[in-house]
Structure 1
Amino acid sequence: MAAEEPGADSGETTHDVQPRNPWTALPWLVRTAVLWSACLVVIVAGLYLLGRIALLLAPLAIALAATIFLTALLDPVLLRLRRLRVPAALAALLTVLLLLGILVGVGALVWNLTASQFDQLSQELTQGVDRSRDFVTSTLPVTDAQLDRLISQARDGLSGSSPDPVSGARTATEVFGSALLALVLLFFLLKDGRSMWHWVLSRMTGPNRAVVAEAGRGGWQTLGAYSRGTMLIAAIDAIGIGLALVVLRVPLALPLALITFLGGFVPIIGATVAGAVAVLVALAANGPTTALLTLAAVIAVQQIEGNLLEPLVMKRQVRLHPAVILVAVTAGTLIAGIAGAFVSVPITAVLWRIIDTVQRHRATATLAVPAAPAG
């Protein structure tokens, strides 16, 4: 008689009981949320670390950002000189000298025309703020003491401590050193930038080389389009608002146009601040009617710029949603102040173009893989 299997007499079949994985026991929605949260924490931590490093090396970071921005802006000039068979070193030197000539010439012209008017501009702004305060206290349930306290707190927060001569001298030295370093790096990037990029690509093998090449090309095109488009749009805004101020006979039209041009390099926030300054000066100089007309002109110019000029100049490859721009400008300002506000949007646009290029390349590669035969 055959031996009975253990447990056969009980009529029960034994099964191996495997311990259940706690991770798989979680609902799929919870697992997805945990994974995305972990990725977000890693990304934010990496960006924060990079921001802290950039703050520690602020002069170098500003010089590098200015160099890359100017290189993308001046690259078409260099290419035109190279097509005329100008040697690379001479073409780069001529491009840098052209930039210096434009900056020095425009700076000297603007200084001669507006230097004597900035004191008057400060007085007009003070008068405009006073008239705005009178309007607020007369129409809203806010007393003069409460409003003065709010204004004093905001002024103290903006001004900070009293200026330190040593700190001011150090800041001036750092600015001069950053500008000099940016010019030297600009020359070398214009001269050898493409060969440097080809050297980087030559060190890569496999399919990653094509992805990096396409992503780098797309990011560089985006930065160039952004730099040239931003300068053109800022100039158009300055001319439009400046002409409106001249027609309305608002004083200090040229300094206000200059502020509008500089504000154009900080999307949304810069234009809003520049428009508010123009309205305050118009209110102080010519009263509420001219201020309202100035406000209407500023809004009209900005609407034409945002809905007509920007889509034509920037193209779709550079355009970002206004919410993304606001978040980027705010984050850049919090991390690196005014310099961060200037560079946050181009960095975001370039990163988005690189990520989009990589995703499209991977999607194309996935579709190109033939399906395995059945059976």
Structure 2
Amino acid sequence: MPESPSRPVADGVLAPLPRWLRRTVAYGIAALVAAAVVAVVTVALLRVGVVAFALLAALLLTALLAPVATGLRRLGLPRAVAALAALLLLLGVPVGIGWLLYSRVMVQLEAVGPAVTAGLDRIREWLVTGPLGVDPARIDELRTSAFDAARAALPSPVAGTTTALHVLTGLLLVVFAVFFLAKDGDAMWRWFLSWVPEERRARVDGGGRLAWSTVTAYVRGTVLVALGDAVGIGLGLLVLGVPLWLSLALLTFVSAFVPIVGATIAGAAAVLVTLVTNGATDALLVLGLVLLVQQLEGNLLQPLVMSGVVKLHPLVTVSAVTVGTLLLGIAGAVLAVPVVAVGYRLVSYLAGRDHAPDDTDDERGGPDDPEGAASRRAPAEEPGPAILRGSPARR
């Protein structure tokens, strides 16, 4: 009598259980394994937090600079020269803005100082004599506590030096990585794909192109949204004659890279500065302006620019920003949403609910890939798209 095929021990143990319970156990084990993998990867990244953040920031900046490098290559510049020119542009813009702000702030501080002092005195008088009737001693106690907390939050000389060295190391690594990603990103991707088995290469290729298109669209969309917020709020502050309006507009632009939370912080700073310098009436006007700009952003600009890119519920966005902030501070707050967005798109792609970007243009070389034909003529051991150059080509 032939022996019946042996069943796995797990099947024999779970066979008496209902089918729904077996499925629950299987999914539970899979979830535990996935959580363990995520925990190990997170701990490993936190161990090398400077390197991990620098590489992720370099990817975001490369996505932002890709059109510049591509346009320069179209003009006939070599790849290295185009990448270097894009990198110099990346470094020059914040340096120029910083110098402009520094020069303006230094000039305005002398005039703003007395106004700030008078504004604080008006607020203190309103708190004491107004409807709140706060005890003056309580106000002095709160002010002293705030100064003590700020002083305690300052790092020691040794800790400050260490932090400065880490920041400098991270910035140098970002600059180094951006240059080579802009110059050789497509070759790096083809080299990576050459290690993927042939039968899975197209699947990995599609996932990589989808991830890169998500990052690229997110970064460019965020820049457009941040620019719209900064221009709207900056013009309103300028019309109201608020000192340091340019600095507040720049703060609005930078804060927009932290979704939802950043806009709230920047708006609160604008209202507070206006209250101290211009008074309560202008502060209320600025509050209305901030709310109007945020409503236009949330209901018009965000859906128009980010449609189909970041398919995340606001609760997921806030949770991601919170977790990122707890793990990596400001860096985690900035990187949380693009990382979660890419992960969601990849899971949807693997589940068959999403598809890789259309590469119709790449069949003709692509609008962002002037060397697409050369890329497709690459040797068999280096297949794949120019994924870090804008519009990747399918093998």
Tell me, yes or no, whether TM beats 0.5.
yes
Aligned equivalents of 1:53 and 1:360: distance in 2? 30
Equivalent runs, 1:150-229 vs 2, <5 Å: 161-229=153-221
Find the counterpart in structure 1 of residue 87 from structure 2. 96
Letter in 2 for 1:222: T
Letter in 1 for 2:258: V
Find the counterpart in structure 2 of residue 285 from structure 1. 277
- From the CA coordinates, give the structure whose radius of gyration is larger: 1
Letter in 2 for 1:220: W
Find the counterpart in structure 2 of residue 13 from structure 1. none
Deviations 1:221-272 (CA, angstroms, capped at 9, x unpaired):
1111111111121111011011111223333212211211111110100000
- Post-superposition offset of 1:148: 8.6
Letter in 2 for 1:176: L
Contact 2:119 2:279 in 1 (8 A): no
Deviations 1:314-368 (CA, angstroms, capped at 9, x unpaired):
231234221111011000000001111111111111111222222227999xxxx
- Relative to structure 1, the CA distance from residue 291 to residue 35 in structure 2 (aligned partners, 3 Å threshold; closer, same or farther) is farther
Aligned equivalents of 2:24 and 2:114: distance in 1? 52
Pick one of 43, 51, 56 that aligns with 2:34: 43
- Relative to structure 1, the CA distance from residue 29 to residue 127 in structure 2 (aligned partners, 3 Å threshold; closer, same or farther) is farther
Contact 2:128 2:135 in 1 (8 A): no
- Relative to structure 1, the CA distance from residue 347 to residue 208 in structure 2 (aligned partners, 3 Å threshold; closer, same or farther) is same
Equivalent runs, 1:343-358 vs 2, <5 Å: 343-358=335-350
- 1:267 aligned onto 2:259: yes
Aligned equivalents of 2:121 and 2:13: distance in 1? 63
Aligned equivalents of 1:156 and 1:81: distance in 2? 53
Letter in 1 for 2:263: A
Contact 1:92 1:191 in 2 (8 A): yes
Pick one of 51, 58, 78 that aligns with 2:49: 58
Q: Which stretches of structure 1, 4 residues or longer, exceed 6 Å deviation after superposition?
A: 136-159, 361-364
Gaps of 5+ in 1: 1-19, 365-375
* Partner SS state of residue 277, structure 2: helix
* Partner SS state of residue 155, structure 2: coil
Find the counterpart in structure 1 of residue 314 from structure 2. 322
Contact 1:125 1:277 in 2 (8 A): no
- Relative to structure 1, the CA distance from residue 267 to residue 362 in structure 2 (aligned partners, 3 Å threshold; closer, same or farther) is closer
- Relative to structure 1, the CA distance from residue 134 to residue 268 in structure 2 (aligned partners, 3 Å threshold; closer, same or farther) is farther
Between 1:155-164 and 1:335-344, the stretch displaced more is 155-164
Aligned equivalents of 2:33 and 2:148: distance in 1? 36
- Relative to structure 1, the CA distance from residue 33 to residue 127 in structure 2 (aligned partners, 3 Å threshold; closer, same or farther) is farther
* Partner SS state of residue 318, structure 1: coil
Aligned equivalents of 1:128 and 1:353: distance in 2? 49
Aligned equivalents of 2:346 and 2:321: distance in 1? 20
- Post-superposition offset of 1:85: 3.1
**Alignment identity in percent?**
45
- 1:258 aligned onto 2:258: no
- Relative to structure 1, the CA distance from residue 361 to residue 206 in structure 2 (aligned partners, 3 Å threshold; closer, same or farther) is farther
- Post-superposition offset of 1:166: 1.5
Aligned residues: 345
- Relative to structure 1, the CA distance from residue 188 to residue 289 in structure 2 (aligned partners, 3 Å threshold; closer, same or farther) is same
Aligned equivalents of 2:132 and 2:46: distance in 1? 42
Q: What is the alpha-carbon root mean square deviation over aligned residues?
A: 3.6
* Partner SS state of residue 360, structure 1: coil
Find the counterpart in structure 2 of residue 87 from structure 1. 78
- Post-superposition offset of 1:310: 1.3
Aligned equivalents of 1:324 and 1:353: distance in 2? 14
- Relative to structure 1, the CA distance from residue 153 to residue 354 in structure 2 (aligned partners, 3 Å threshold; closer, same or farther) is farther
- Relative to structure 1, the CA distance from residue 312 to residue 129 in structure 2 (aligned partners, 3 Å threshold; closer, same or farther) is farther
Gaps of 5+ in 2: 1-10, 357-395
Contact 2:248 2:270 in 1 (8 A): yes
- Structure 1-normalised TM-score? 0.79
Aligned equivalents of 1:43 and 1:157: distance in 2? 41
Letter in 2 for 1:301: V
* Partner SS state of residue 54, structure 1: helix
- Structure 2-normalised TM-score? 0.76
Aligned equivalents of 1:129 and 1:308: distance in 2? 40
Contact 1:137 1:144 in 2 (8 A): no
Pick one of 101, 105, 119 that aligns with 1:114: 105
Aligned equivalents of 1:179 and 1:141: distance in 2? 50
Aligned equivalents of 1:76 and 1:329: distance in 2? 28
* Larger relative contact order (CA 8 Å, sep ≥ 6): 2
Contact 1:117 1:255 in 2 (8 A): no
Find the counterpart in structure 2 of residue 236 from structure 1. 228
Contact 1:121 1:281 in 2 (8 A): no
- Relative to structure 1, the CA distance from residue 247 to residue 150 in structure 2 (aligned partners, 3 Å threshold; closer, same or farther) is same
* Partner SS state of residue 325, structure 1: helix
